[in-house]
Structure formats: structure tokens, C-alpha cells
Amino acid sequence: MVGLGCWQLGADWGHVDNADALAVLHAAVDSGVTFLDTADVYGDGRSEQLISRFLAERPGEVMVATKCGRRADPHVPAAFTPANLRAWIDRSRANLGVERLDLVQLHCPPTPVLADDEVFDALDALVAEGLLAAYGVSVETCDEALTAIARPGVASVQIILNAFRRKPLERVLPAAREAGVGIIARVPLASGLLSGKYDEHTIFAADDHRTYNRHGESFDVGETFSGVPYEVGVTAARSLAEVATGLGVDTAALALRWVVDQPGVSVVIPGARNAGQAKANAAAAELDPLAADTLAAVEGIYDEQIRQYVHDRW
């Protein structure tokens, strides 16, 4: 299933005005999207508030997943108290205009949080109170994912998975399938590298994380271009574009279909900055599953050009 990632609608990808953001939401849902992923820190609540406006216009059509924890300053394990969790969740409920959140994910918390029973007891209590329907964890590493999957109350794990970040295929997806935990695949286009639209001369806006976080200056570098050095990614994306051309599809469609085809993936959440992108992304769900020779070609590009830069890091 193809959903919609709503980071772009809040901040950090260059400016998207309110009208364009709402147009993205409408275009995505008109194209069959039923899952939206946001977070309380995307534009300091702007993404959630825009989704609230959309929900008022089209109630009952989508499931909304949000995230909490990155508002902690400093972002340390001690900040993940029951009181803070409740405050973050209450703020998201207000931003989204709902009594009960569909899904709340801990937003890439410090690793020790995943071993803190008090945190998960607090989340269980919030479920029991009816303030959220379910909870999950968004993670940076495969080891963190495996720890989260082992938690009995965790409904979902969100992790970077794309043709340039294949490591979760080895252990994370099989463990999630066995435990009945959903997998939300984020950054499926490697911050746009896998759209095939960028080259060595592309310049991103100063307020775009693809400029200011290229070396991990503000948060984990794995969130920007999936941790692949930009020039390396551009070259590898050209190789993937050749495969896509042979199939008669564009590079982004091939990259998204690759994620959809991975056993255990519940939903993939590409972002979009305009309605056209939202429609194109959703259409990838309608493509035929990729053939074995195509899957082998994609794996070969990873092994030859990408693996050495990312496989042992996350």
C-alpha cells in the first residue's frame, strides 16, 4: 500500500504554502491513499494542523499516524516521562482535532528508551484511556527495530527502506512478519535521489534538509539521501533509471514498487510537494509486481555502488 508522508507539508523541504499542502492531501486521497504519516515537530505542528483542516473536509477517509518525542529538549532518555508523553499526545490531539489518535509512534527516540518499561507502560495506559488506538516506534537502526518488535504492545515499526537502504530485508522484515508487527517504510525515494530528477548541479533551498543536514549537522544523516553521499547516489540513480526505462516506467515508480513488493511492508510513505507528485506516487501501487530479473538488477546496483556506504551503519 502507498500512503503519504507529510513531513514536506510542515517544513524542512523548502516552502509549501497552505493551498498546495491541502491540494497534496486531496490529490493523494483522491488517488486511493488511506494512510497519512506526520509528526508533532513537522513545522512545529503545522503538518498536523493542515491535516486537521483536511479531516474536517473529508472525515473518515484516512488513518493518521503521528509521532512524538522529538520535542524533547534535550532529546535524552530522561525526557520520556509519562507526563511528557501525555503532554505531547494531548498537543497532537489538539493539532489534529481528534479525541483519539489512530497511531502514535515514538519519533526515533534515544536507544535506551526502547528498553524502558515505564515508557511502554505509559503508552499502554494511554491506549486504555482511549487517547490513542495504537502505538509504534520510528527507528534509525535495524537493531532498534528488532528491540521494538520484541515489545508486545508495539503495533508498528517505521524504518528507512528503499533500493539504497536494503539492510532491513535481512532481519527486520522477517521478525516483524513473525511478530505480526506492521512495517511503515519511510524515505522510499532516498530524499528524492530515487526520483531520478537530480544531478551533480542541483541546488536545494537553504531551509531544505538536503542542504543543511547533508552531513548530519541537525539530525541523523541517514534521514538525508538515506545516508548515501550525494554524488554517489546521483550516479547510482542513473543506473536505476536505465532499469526503469527498460520497463517503460519512471525511476520513482520503480523505486516505490520495489518497496511495495517487499514481504512484510504494510505501507510505504513517500512525500509530495505538489498534487502531481502525490498522484504519481499513489499510482505506483497499481504497477505489476517486479519480475525476478528486475529485482536482481536493483540488488546489483546496490551491491556494486551503494552497499559500502550504508550497509554497516544502520
Q: Quick one: pLDDT at residue 13?
A: 66
User: Model's pTM, two decimal places?
Assistant: 0.95
Domain tally for the chain?
1
Q: Quick one: pLDDT at residue 69?
A: 97
Amino acid identity of residue 6, one-letter, is: C
Sheet with strand 103-107: strands edge to edge: 4-5, 35-37, 63-68, 103-107, 135-138, 154-160, 182-186, 265-268
Average pLDDT of every residue of the chain: 95
Name the percent of the chain lying above pLDDT 70: 99
CATH number at residue 88: 3.20.20.100
**Domain carrying residue 30:** 4-310
- Closest residue by Cα to residue 212 from 225, 231, 196, 198: 225
Asked if pLDDT for residue 14 goes beyond 70, the answer is no
Q: What angle do CA 87, 92, 133 make, to 5 degrees?
A: 95
Contact present, 36 and 3 (Cβ < 8 Å) = yes
Task: Give 42's pLDDT tier (boundaries 50, 70, 90).
Answer: very high
Average pLDDT rounded to a whole number, residues 177-199: 95
Average pLDDT rounded to a whole number, residues 25-45: 96
